[in-house]
Amino acid sequence: MLLITCPHCGPREESEFSCGGEAHIARPLAENNLTDAEFADYLFLRDNPKGMFLERWRHAAGCRRWFNMARDTVTHEIVEIYPMGNTPKSKAGKAAHADSWRRDTAAEAAAKPASKSRSKQGG
Amino acid sequence: MSGTSLFGRGKKDQVSRAASGGRVDRARPLTFTFDGKSYQGYEGDTLASALLANNIHLVGRSFKYHRPRGIIAVGSEEPNALVRVGRGAKAEPNLRATQVELYDGLYAESQNRFPSLKFDIGAVNSILQRFFPAGFYYKTFMWPASMWMTYEHVIRNAAGLGKVADDHNDPDRYEKTNAHCDVLIAGGGVAGLMAALQAGRSGARVILADEQNEFGGWLLGESDTTIDGKTPADWVAGVVAELEAMPEVTLLPRTTVFGYMDHNYITLTERVTDHLGERPVHLPRQRMWKVRAGQTVLAQGAHERPLVFSGNDLPGVMLSGAVRSYINRYGVVPGNRTVVFTNNDDAYRTALALHSAGANVVVVDLRRDLKGELVKAVRAAGIQVMSGSAVTIAAGTQRIARVEISPVNEGATEVLDDPIHMDCDLLAMSGGLTPAVHLHSQARGKLGWDEQLLCFKPTTVHEASFNAGAGNGVFAADKAIENGMQAGTAAARAAGFDIADGSAPEVAAPAQSWRPLAAWKVTNGMGEGEGPKAFVDYQNDVTASDVKLAVREGYQSVEHVKRYTTLGMATDQGKTSNINGLAILAESLGNEIPQVGTTTFRMPYTPSGFGAIAGRDIGDLFDPVRLTRMDDWHRANGATFEHVGQWMRAWYYPKDGETLREAVDREVLAARTTAGLLDASTLGKIDIQGPDAAEFLNRLYTNSWLKLGIGKCRYGLMLKDDGMVMDDGVTTRLGENHFHMTTTTGGAAGVLDWMEEWLQTEWPELKVYLTSVTEEWSVATLSGPNAGKILKAAGVDISLDPVDFPFMAMREAHIAGLPVRIFRISFTGELSYEINIRARHGLALWTHLMKAGAEFGITPYGTEAMHVLRAEKGFIIVGQETDGSVTPQDLGMDWIVSKVKPDYIGKRALDRASMAADNRKQLVGLRTKERKQVIPEGAHAVLDPNQPMPMDMLGQVTSSYYSPNVGSSIAMAMLKGGRALMGGTVYLPMLDGSVIEAEVVEPIFYDPKGERING
Ligand SMILES: [Zn+2]
C-alpha cells in the first residue's frame, strides 16, 4: 500500500485515495472536427507503461481534491506530486510527458479552440 | 487442575521428558487431548513438545499421498504437524503444533486422515502414486472433460489440508489497529533484540515483534553458549527488561510479521489470547496490526534444511537443530537410539546434546575430512562418527525403525560399498541453514548466492530496510549480535535519531564451520525413482523425482517448475524446501543454482486467519445501513424493506396477510384513483452554487439549462463522454446562481464525484461549488388525483391552482407551520408533489400527511409500486433499462438531446458512425399474447423460437410487472433494431422449454397523452 503525500493534507494511506488513471489527456472540443479514429485516441486509448507514469489521483476520503502524480509502476516510487493544470517538473516526469505519443495527436490539438490558443488543464 | 488427570495419567506418562532442564514448569502440569486421548504436558510446552514428551511422533497425514508424518521442526517452519485445535465453531485448522502453546484442556485433532490417523484409507494414494505425479492437477484437466467432474470430487476429498469449522460463524472477537513507528524489527532473536536495544536507546519509536511466546529465538535452545557470562535466557531477560522500561518501545511477542508491502507498510498478527485456556472476554482473540514504519530491521533468523534421502519423511526423522531445542528448551528427548545425519558441523552440537541426555548416538557425516573443535568433542565423548557416509534409506511403518548406512562418493550420488543396517527410533538430520528471507523478498529486496554457506542471502534492499543476523546469512551468535547492533544503529540513524555505535556483548560458543557439503540428493543405490520416496517439500508432497520429472517434461524456469510441482507453494512458502528444490532443479538442468534463481516469496509468511483481517467489520458493522427519518413509521406499519445501495427502503406495505402482488396491486391502484405517499428521501440531492452554475449544468446535461427560469424544474440526462447514459434526475433553479439537483438513489455519490472531477480537472475556470445535501432533506412524494386536496387539508399556505403552481415548478411554502420546498414533478404521471422538508421534520410531515389524507384514501406505497407506476408510463430507470452501453437515442429520448449546444459531455461520441447503426439495442414495450402472463425480467427475446441453439438473441427484458391499472402485464425491453420491430412478434424461450409470445409496442402503457398530470 502506497504512502501518498496529498498536497493539501500531507502523507496518507493509499486506501484514502482513488486513482483516476492516465493524466494529461486533453479533451477535444466538439467544435473541432476529428475523425472517429482520432477521437478514439482521447476516448478509449490509455497507456500502461512499465516505468514512469503520469497519473491522476484524488484524495477521495480526505479533502477530495485531484492532483497529478509521477509514479514508477515498477518500483512504486512516487517521484513527484504536482497540481492539476501543471506539467511535471522532475526530470523523469518531464521526459515521460514530452515523450508521450499523445503530444502529436489530432485529439490533443483539438483541445484548443480552433482560432485562439489557450493553455490546457492537466485533466 | 491437579497434577493427575481424570484418566489417572501421571507424570510418568511423559516417557520422553528429561528429569530436569528446559524452560517448562514441571510444577504446572497441563492436561490436553489429541485425537480423543488425554495426555499431560507442562506450562511452557508447545503442543509439539508435549506430544514428543509423550513419545508421539505420528501427528498427521500428508497432503497428497496421505503418508504418515511426524514433527520435524520446532517453529513456524514446521511443514508436517498441522493440526486442528478447538471444537465446534471455535475449531481452527492447519495450525502448526510447534506454534500452539499448551494450555489446560487444549483439544487438538490430526488432519487428512480417515477413518483414523493410524489407519488411513487415503494412504491408497501412496499406492496409486503413478496417478499423482508432478503436475497431476494439470494432467487431470486433460482427461476427458466429461470425467473431470468425477475426478475432481475424488481428488478434492483426497487432497487438501484441514477442514474449517462447518456451518458456524466464528464466535471469537478480533481487532485491527493501525500504528506508526520509526523502526520496526521483525524477529526477536539475538540480532533483533540488539537492534531493538540500539534503536530504543536512540529514542526512536520502536516496535519489536516475534512470533514466539518469548523473545530470544534459537539461543533459548542452546546450552553450550553464554552471553556476557550469562545463559542465553538470563541475558535475554535483562535485555527485555531494559526494552520494557523504554516508553517508546512496543514489544509484541506471539506476533507474526506476515506481510511487507510498498512504502514500508507492514502487517502483523498478534495472537492475544490463543495461548490461554480461559480467554478473558475483554480481550480479542487476535489483533491485526497495520504498521507504517520509517525503517525496518529484518531479523527473521534461518531455517535448517532437511537432507533429501529415501524415507526422509518418516515420523522420527527430525531436523537436527529442532531436536537440540526440544532437549534444551523443552526438556524433551525425542529418541533413545539416535542417528545424526549431517553435511556440516552444527549437527555435532545436537549429537552432544543427545549424548548428554542419555541417548545412544551415531553420527553419519557426508564429509570425508572431519576436523574442528566440535568433531573432537564428539569423538572424545565416545560417540561413533562415520565419515564419507550417508543414510541411504530410512525404513519403518509409522515411525523410523532402522536405517541403511553406506559409504558414498563426495556428492552422495554413488554408493561405494554394501550398507550396514542399524536400528533407531530417531534420526536428526542437518542439511545446512537457509536464511529466512521471506519479508526481504516480499519487499522486493534482491538475493545473492553464497558459495560458502550454500544459501541465498539478502544483497540489496528495495524499501527502507536493513537485514540482520541469521536471516542475513550471519549464523554465528557473536557475529549475529554484532550484526543486529549495526542494523539497529543504522536504522535509528536513517530514521533521524542519534546513537553511538556501542560495543557488542561477549559471546562464548563452540567454534564451528558454517559451511555445509553440497550433496543435494542422497542416492539409495537404486535407479531413479526406485525405492522409497525422498521428499523435498513435505507440506506439498513433492519428491526429488517430481522435480526431475518436471525437467524431463520440458520445464526449465524455476517459476514454472514451482507451479507444475507445487514446490514451495501454499502455507509453507518453501521454508525448509526452497534451497533443496532449487539445487535438485539446477542439477537436473545441468546449471548452477544462482543461474536457476529463486522464486518469489509471497505473503503471508505464515497463514493469518480471516478473523483478524476482518476484525470488527462483520455483521452489522460490515457496511453502514442508511435509514430515512420516516423509517420508524414504515416499520410500525408493517413495511417490508429492500436494500438500495446502502439505503433500506420500504418495499411494500402488506396488509392482513397480503402477498407482494396483492399489496403492490392495491398500492398502484390507489396512486391512480385516490392518492399514494412515497418516502423519496433517499434520492441523491446536490446543492450547486456559483456564478457559472448554469453554464456547468449546460455542459453536464444533454439539454439546455442557461434559460431555465428561477423556480422552474427540468429533467436532465447525464452522459459519460462516450455518449452513454450514466444518470438522470430533475434539477431546479432556486436562484440566479443556485440549483438543486436530484440524482438516482444509487448514483448520488458517483454523480457528485463525477461533477467534482470535471470542475477540478477539466474546467477549473468555472466558479461552481457543490455540496451533497441528500441527508439534509426528507422527501414525501404525494401522488394521485386527490394529491391537491390532501395538501390543502394538510394546511399548505400557497395556491395549488395549476396557473399559480404549474407542472415542473417549485414553490416554497409552509405545512403545519414548517417551511417546505414543494416540487411539482411526477414519476407516476399523476398530479404529484415532492415535498422536501428539513430532514429532522420528515417523520412529522409524513404522519401529518397521512392524517390529513385519511379521508381522501391516502395509501403509502413502496419502491415496488413506484417501479410499476413509472413503467406504466414508460419512464426509464438508469441501471435497469440502461447498462452503460445505452445512448439517449437508444432509449427513444432524442428529444432531450440539444442540437444547438456547441458542446456537452458525450456530444462528440454520439456523432460516431457506430452510434447510428440499425442493430443497436433500442427501448421497446412488450405486450404478451397471454395478457396476464408476466415475463421474467432478464428473459431474452428471439425472432424464431424454433431456431437451433445457439439462437440469435435480440436482447433482454429490462422491466416487467403486472399492472392492475392496465389490467395486464407490462414489460420494457432493449432489443436490437427494436424500433423497426414495432407491431411485430418476438418470442421469449423459458428455461422449462415453454415460449412466451409478445408483441413489440411503444414503451408506454397508461395515459399516453399525459392527461392526468393536472389531476
Ligand atoms: Zn487531501
Closest residue to A43, CB basis, from B262, B761, B909: B909
Residue B419, pLDDT score: 96
The answer as to whether B427 is a domain residue is: no
* Residue of chain B whose Cα is closest to the Cα of A32: B908
CATH number at residue B853: 3.30.1360.120
Q: Bin B341: left if φ > 0, else alpha if -120 < ψ < 50, else beta.
A: beta
| Alpha helices, H only, B710-862 | 748-757, 787-793, 842-853
**Cα–Cα distance between B266 and B179 in angstroms, integer?**
10
A33 domain residue, yes or no? no
DSSP-derived secondary structure letter, B132: S
Q: Among B853, B883, B907, where does a domain finish? A: B907
Cβ contact (<8 Å) for A2 and B908? no
CATH code for the domain in which residue A89 is found:
3.30.2270.10
B966 C-alpha to center of ligand 1: Å?
54
CA distance B592 to B608: 35
Structural domain boundaries, residue A76: 3-24+40-108
Question: Which amino acid is located at B922 in the chain?
Answer: Q
Number of structural domains (chain B) is 4
Among B596, B631, B647, identify where a domain stops.
Answer: B596
Instruction: For residue B653, tell me if it sits in a domain.
Output: no
User: Greatest CA separation found in chain A?
Assistant: 46
What are the 10-residue block averages of pLDDT along chain B, 1015 residues in total? Answer: 38 85 96 96 98 96 88 95 90 93 96 74 59 58 51 53 70 95 98 98 98 96 96 97 98 98 97 93 96 98 97 97 98 98 98 97 97 96 98 96 97 95 98 97 96 96 97 97 98 97 94 95 90 92 92 90 86 88 93 88 89 93 95 98 96 96 98 98 98 98 97 98 97 98 94 97 97 97 98 98 97 97 97 98 98 98 98 96 97 96 96 94 98 97 94 97 97 98 97 96 96 90
CB B398, CB B315: distance < 8 Å: yes
Shortest distance, CA B765 to any CA of chain A (angstroms): 10
Domain presence at residue A30 = no
Each residue's pLDDT tens digit, B185-200: 999 999 999 999 999 9
The SS3 of residue B983 is coil
Q: Is residue B784 part of a domain?
A: yes
Say yes or no for a CB contact (<8 Å) between A2 and B263.
yes
- CA-nearest residue to B765 within chain A is A121
For residue B814, CA distances in Å to B632, B798, B821, B836 come to 24, 8, 8, 11
Contacts of A34 in chain B (CB under 8 A): 908
Same domain, B783 and B884: yes
B872, B972: one domain = no
CA distance B462 to chain A (A): 8
Interface test with B, best of A24, A54, A76 (most B CBs within 10 A): A76
Cα→Cα distances B757→A22, A59, A64, A114, B763, Å: 14, 12, 9, 25, 9
Q: Residue B113: which of B84, B133, B153 has the closest Cα? A: B84
CB contact under 8 A, A27 and B907: no
**Residue B531 sits in the same domain as residue B473:** no
Cβ contacts (< 8 Å) between B465 and chain A: which residues?
Answer: none
Is the link from the previous residue into B115 a cis peptide, with omega within 30 of 0? yes
For residue A87, tell me if it sits in a domain.
Answer: yes
Report the gap between the CA of B595 and the closest CA in chain A (Å): 23
- Grid cell 489417572 is found at B8
Has residue B501 been placed in a domain?
yes
Q: All 3 cell numbers of residue A80?
A: 513527484
Distance CA B197, CA B206 (A): 9
- The whole-number pLDDT of residue B137 equals 57
* Closest CA in chain B for residue A77: B263
Q: In Å, how far are B60, B81, B94, B116, B551 from B64, measured between CA atoms?
A: 12, 15, 15, 16, 21
User: A34 touching B, CB under 8 A?
Assistant: yes
Positive or negative, the CA dihedral B561, B567, B570, B575 is: negative
Listed in sequence order, the residues at least 6 apart from B607 whose beta carbon sits closer than 8 Å to its beta carbon are B94, B571
CB contact under 8 A, A84 and B913: no
Q: Are residues B815 and B673 in the same domain?
A: yes
| Cα atoms found within 13 Å of the Cα of residue B94, Cβ hemisphere only | 15
For residue B686, report the distance from its CA to the centre of ligand 1, in Å: 22
- CATH code at B570? 1.10.10.1100
Query: Which chain A residue shows the shortest CA-CA distance from B462?
Result: A75
Partners of residue B650 on adjacent β-strands: B641
The pLDDT, as a whole number, for residue B12 is 55
- Considering only CA atoms, which of B794, B868, B847, B825 is closest in space to residue B679? B847
Question: Predicted ipTM?
Answer: 0.94
Cell 476520503, residue located: A61
> B789 and B756, same structural domain?
yes
For residue A64, the CA-to-ligand 1 centroid distance in Å is: 6
CB contact under 8 A, B902 and A122: no
Grid cell 395515459 is found at: B1007
**The three cell numbers locating residue B974:** 432493449
Q: Residue B704 and residue B701: Cα distance in Å, rounded? A: 8
Question: Would residue B88 count as lying in a domain?
Answer: no
Q: Which one, of B867, B871, B825, lies nearest residue B1004 by Cα?
A: B871
Report if residue A69 sits inside a domain. yes
| Domain membership flag for residue B33 | no
Residue located via cell numbers 498478527:
B269
Q: How many CB atoms lie within 10 A of CB B384?
A: 12
H/E segment holding residue B620: none
Measured in residues, chain B has a length of 1015
In a domain, A122, yes or no: no
Contact A36 B762 (CB under 8 A): no
Q: How far apart are CA B41 and CA B52, in angstroms?
A: 10
Of B761, B903, B912, which is closest to A29 when you measure between CB atoms? B903
Count Cα atoms within 13 angstroms, Cβ side, for A1.
Answer: 16
With CA atoms as reference, the chain A residue closest to B261 would be A1
Residue of B262, B462, B761 lying closest to A84 (CB–CB): B761
* A64 chain-B contacts, CB cut-off 8 A: 756
Q: Which regions in chain A score pLDDT beneath 50?
A: 116-123
Cβ-defined contact of B761 to A121 (cutoff 8 Å): yes
Contact B265 A64 (CB under 8 A): no
CA distance B907 to chain A (A): 7
> Which chain B residues are closer than 8 Å to A71 by Cβ?
none
- Domain co-membership, B718 together with B805: yes
| Residues with Cβ–ion distance below 5 A, ligand 1 | A 6, 8-9, 59, 62-63
* Per-residue pLDDT at B984: 97
**Nearest chain B CA: its distance from A52 CA (Å):** 17
Q: Searching chain B, which residue's CA lies closest to the CA of residue A35?
A: B912
What spacing in Å lies between the alpha carbon of B23 and ligand 1's midpoint? 52
Using CB atoms, which residue from B292, B904, B907 is nearest to A3?
A: B292
Residue B618 lies in a domain: no
Do B501 and B526 have their domain in common? no
User: Which residue among B462, B902, B904 places its CB closest to the CB of A31?
Assistant: B902
Do residue B949 and residue B822 come from a single domain? no
User: Residues 88..117 of A with a Cβ closer than 8 Å to B: which?
Assistant: none
Cα–ligand 1 centroid distance for A63 (angstroms): 4
| B894 lies in the same domain as B940 | no
Instruction: Write the DSSP assignment of B529-567 as a string of letters.
Output: T-SS--EEETTTTEEHHHHHHHHHTT--SHHHHHHHH-T
Distance B291 CA to ligand 1 centre (A): 21
Boundary residue ending a domain (B549, B570, B596): B596
Least CA distance to A5: which residue of chain B? B263
Per-residue pLDDT tens digits for B738-795: 999 999 999 999 999 999 999 999 999 999 999 999 999 999 999 999 999 999 999 9
Contact (CB, 8 A) for B925 and B970: yes
Residue B946: CA count within 13 A, CB half-sphere: 0
A28/B contact by beta carbon, under 8 A: yes
> Do B462 and B538 fall into the same domain?
no
CA of A70 to the centre of ligand 1 (A): 17
The DSSP 8-state label assigned to residue B326 in this structure reads: H
Is A13–B292 a contact, with Cβ atoms under 8 angstroms apart?
yes
3-state secondary structure of B890: coil
Question: What three-state secondary structure class fits A101?
Answer: helix
**Which chain B residues touch A if contact means CB-CB below 8 Å?**
261-265, 292, 462, 721-722, 753, 756-757, 760-764, 902-904, 907-909, 912-914
CB of A120 within 8 Å of a chain B CB? The answer is: no
Single-letter amino acid, residue B71: I
Query: Is B762–A121 a contact, with Cβ atoms under 8 angstroms apart?
Result: yes
In a shared domain, residues B857 and B950: no
Strand order in the sheet with B713-719: B713-719, B725-735, B738-743, B684-689, B769-772
Contact B909 A2 (CB under 8 A): no
Q: Ligand 1 center to residue A1 CA distance, Å?
A: 17
CATH code of B937's domain: 2.40.30.110
Query: All 3 cell numbers of residue B196?
Result: 531493538
Q: Which domain holds residue B941?
A: 917-1015
Residue among B263, B463, B887 with most chain A CBs within 10 A, to mutate: B263
* Residue at A82 is within a domain: yes
Q: Given this model, what pLDDT does residue B1012 score? A: 94
pTM (two decimals): 0.90
Letter for the amino acid at B740?
A: H
Cross-chain CB nearest to A123 (options B756, B762, B914): B762
A2, A35, A36: best to mutate for the B interface, most B CBs within 10 A: A36
pLDDT at B566: 87
Residue B87 domain-assigned (yes or no): no
| Domains: count for chain A | 1
Please, what is the angle between helix B347-356 and helix B373-380, to 10°?
30
Nearest chain B CA: its distance from A121 CA (Å): 6
Helix (H) or strand (E) holding B125: helix B124-127
8 Å CB contact of B764 and A84: yes
Instruction: Tell me: do B554 and B475 sit in the same domain.
Output: no
Question: Which CATH number do you get for residue B287?
Answer: 3.50.50.60
Contacts of B292 in chain A (CB under 8 A): 3, 13
